[in-house]
C-alpha cells in the first residue's frame, strides 16, 4: 500500500520541521515537501501532487484562507488546518472549515507537554482524510461569510417538549450549521451538543452558528436550565451532563473529569445522562465523526425508551461514529442529513414538557461529578 503523501504549508520554520517529524514516525505517511506561504504552497501542490495538505492560516503574502479557496477551486484536496490557539485563530479555523477544509488540529504551543497526543491526532486525521477525500465535505452549503446573519431573536421561556442530544466530530461544524439552520425559532425541544473540539474553538463555533440560525445557539454553562428553541454546545475540554434538580426540573452540569473513550468532551457522558434523566422524552443523534464515541451509550437511550438516530453514510463526512452505533444495533433509525431537521420537528411536537415529568431512573449514569 502506497504511503499517504503530505505537503506541509506553514510560515514557521519550527512547524515546517516539527510537523514532518511528527508525521514521518508513522511509516504509512510520507511528507513530500513544505512551503512557506499560500502562493508557494499552490505551486508545490501542482508539482508534488500530495494526497493531503496541512495548512497554517496566518501566513504572509497569501494566507491560508486564500490558498484554501484556490486549492478547492483547482485541486479539491483534503486539507487539515493547523490552527493557532487564539481567538483569531479559532475564528479563522471556522471560516476554513466553511471553505472546505476537512478538519483541524490546534497548533502545538511552546513547551507543550501534549506533543505526542497532538502527533497521534494529526496522523489519525490525515489517514482518514486521505481515505475520505474532500467531496462530501464540500457538499454542504456552509459559508458563514456568504450567509446573511439572522436578526434579533425572541427567547422562549417555555420548558422543552423533548431533549435532543447530538454527538458529532469530524465534519461537525458544517453539518451542524446545515441542520440547525433548518429549525424554526419556535422549535419546541432543547438541543444538547457534544462536538469533539478543543477549548476556545467551541465558543467561536457557537457564536457563528447563533448568528446564522433562527434558534439560539451558545456554549453550555453549569447550572443552565433547559428551554425550548435553544441549542447548547459543550465547551471544549469539559464533559456535559443532564441533571435533575431538587425542584424536579432539568439542568446542566459541566465537569473536568478524565476523558471517556479518549475524549473530553465525550458523547457517551452526555448520552448516558440524557438516558437516565430524560428517558422516553429523549432523542439521541449520532452524526459524522471518527471513532466510536457514543456508539455504545446510544443503546442506553434506546433502553430508556428514547429514540436513537444515526446519520447515514452518504451524508457523513466520516461514517465512523454512526457506523459503530449501527453495527451494535443501537440506532433505531438511519436518516440522511437532508431529512434530519424535519424528523426532529415531527418527533419533538409539544406534548409533555420534560421538566414536568416524574423522575424515573432507568440506568446508572456515567459518574462525572459536576463542578
Q: Note the pLDDT of residue 246.
A: 86
Do 343 and 200 share a domain, yes or no?
yes
Residue 236 falls within a domain, yes or no? yes
Q: Is 196 an annotated catalytic residue?
A: yes
Active-site annotation holder among 196, 239, 263, 276: 196
For 112, other C-beta atoms within 10 Å of its C-beta total 13
Total structural domains within the chain: 2
Q: Which of 104, 139, 174 is where one domain is finished?
A: 139
Q: Note the pLDDT of residue 88.
A: 86
Q: How many angstroms separate the CA atoms of 146 and 208, rounded? A: 12
Q: Is 186 an annotated catalytic residue?
A: no
Q: Which of 75, 107, 139 is where one domain is finished?
A: 139
Q: Return the CATH number at 64.
A: 3.40.50.2300
Residue 179 falls within a domain, yes or no? yes
Do 209 and 346 share a domain, yes or no?
yes
Buried/exposed code over 220-250 (b: 16+ C-beta within 10 A; e: otherwise): bebebebbbbbbbbbbbebbbbbbbeeeeeb
Q: Is 212 an annotated catalytic residue?
A: no
C-alpha cell at 166: 447530538
Q: Note the pLDDT of residue 150.
A: 56
Q: Which of 70, 104, 139 is where one domain is finished?
A: 139
Q: How many angstroms separate the CA atoms of 350 and 344, rounded? A: 12
Do 61 and 171 share a domain, yes or no?
no
Q: Note the pLDDT of residue 111.
A: 52
Active-site annotation holder among 11, 51, 103, 293: 293
Q: How many angstroms separate the CA atoms of 343 and 354, rounded? A: 19
288 in Cβ contact with 322 (< 8 Å): yes
Q: Note the pLDDT of residue 369.
A: 41
Q: Return the CATH number at 316.
A: 3.40.50.180
Do 100 and 239 share a domain, yes or no?
no
Q: What is the mean pLDDT of each run of 10 residues along the chain (371 residues)?
A: 94 93 93 96 97 95 94 92 87 92 84 76 94 61 49 68 97 94 96 95 95 95 95 97 92 96 96 97 97 97 98 95 98 97 90 45 39 45
Domain limits at 77?
A: 4-139
- Listed in order, strand segments (DSSP E) in 228-332 are 230-233, 239-244, 250-255, 282-286, 307-311
Backbone angles phi, psi at 70, to 5 degrees: -70, -40
Do 287 and 182 share a domain, yes or no?
yes
Q: Note the pLDDT of residue 23.
A: 94
Longest dimension (CA), the chain: 66
| Residue 108: partners with Cβ closer than 8 Å, 6 or more residues away | 18, 114, 115, 118
Do 89 and 226 share a domain, yes or no?
no
Do 57 and 205 share a domain, yes or no?
no
Do 81 and 202 share a domain, yes or no?
no
Separation in Å, CA 9 to CA 86, 100, 138, 324: 19, 17, 21, 34
Residue 369 falls within a domain, yes or no? no
Q: How many angstroms separate the CA atoms of 202 and 362, rounded? A: 31
Residue 145 falls within a domain, yes or no? no
Amino acid at each position: 500500500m502506497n504511503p499517504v503523501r503530505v505537503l506541509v504549508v506553514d510560515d514557521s520554520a519550527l512547524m515546517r520541521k516539527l510537523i514532518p517529524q511528527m508525521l514521518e514516525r508513522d511509516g504509512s505517511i510520507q511528507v513530500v515537501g513544505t512551503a512557506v506561504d499560500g502562493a508557494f504552497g499552490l505551486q508545490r501542490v501542482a508539482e508534488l501532487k500530495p494526497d493531503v495538505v496541512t495548512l497554517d492560516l496566518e501566513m504572509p503574502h497569501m494566507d491560508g484562507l486564500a490558498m484554501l479557496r484556490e486549492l478547492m477551486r483547482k485541486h479539491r484536496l483534503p486539507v487539515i488546518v493547523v490552527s493557532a490557539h487564539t481567538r483569531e485563530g479559532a475564528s479563522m479555523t471556522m471560516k476554513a472549515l466553511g471553505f472546505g477544509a476537512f478538519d483541524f488540529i490546534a497548533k502545538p504551543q511552546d513547551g507543550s507537554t501534549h506533543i505526542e497526543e497532538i502527533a497521534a491526532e494529526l496522523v489519525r486525521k490525515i489517514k482518514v482524510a486521505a481515505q475520505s477525500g474532500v467531496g462530501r465535505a464540500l457538499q454542504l452549503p456552509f459559508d458563514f461569510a456568504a450567509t446573511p446573519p439572522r436578526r434579533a431573536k425572541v427567547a422562549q421561556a417555555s420548558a422543552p417538549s423533548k431533549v435532543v442530544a447530538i454527538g458529532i466530530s469530524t465534519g461537525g461544524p458544517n453539518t451542524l450549521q446545515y441542520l440547525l439552520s433548518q429549525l424554526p425559532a419556535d422549535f419546541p425541544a432543547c438541543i444538547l451538543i457534544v462536538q469533539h473540539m478543543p477549548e476556545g474553538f467551541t465558543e467561536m463555533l457557537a457564536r457563528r452558528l447563533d448568528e446564522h440560525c433562527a434558534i439560539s445557539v451558545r456554549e453550555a454553562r453549569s447550572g443552565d436550565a433547559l428551554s425550548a428553541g435553544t441549542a447548547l454546545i459543550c465547551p471544549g475540554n469539559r464533559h456535559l451532563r443532564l441533571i435533575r434538580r431538587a425542584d424536579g426540573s432539568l439542568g446542566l452540569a459541566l465537569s473536568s473529569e478524565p476523558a471517556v473513550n479518549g475524549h473530553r468532551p465525550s458523547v457517551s457522558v452526555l448520552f448516558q445522562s440524557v438516558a437516565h434523566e430524560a428517558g422516553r422524552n429523549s432523542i439521541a443523534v449520532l452524526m459524522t465523526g471518527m471513532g466510536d464515541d457514543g456508539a455504545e451509550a446510544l443503546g442506553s437511550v434506546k433502553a430508556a425508551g428514547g429514540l436513537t438516530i444515526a446519520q447515514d453514510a452518504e451524508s457523513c463526512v466520516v461514517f465512523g461514529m454512526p457506523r459503530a452505533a449501527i453495527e451494535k444495533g443501537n440506532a433505531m433509525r438511519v436518516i440522511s442529513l437532508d431529512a434530519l431537521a424535519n424528523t426532529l420537528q415531527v418527533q419533538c411536537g409539544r406534548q409533555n414538557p420534560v421538566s414536568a415529568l416524574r423522575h424515573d431512573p432507568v440506568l446508572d449514569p456515567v459518574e462525572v461529578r459536576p463542578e
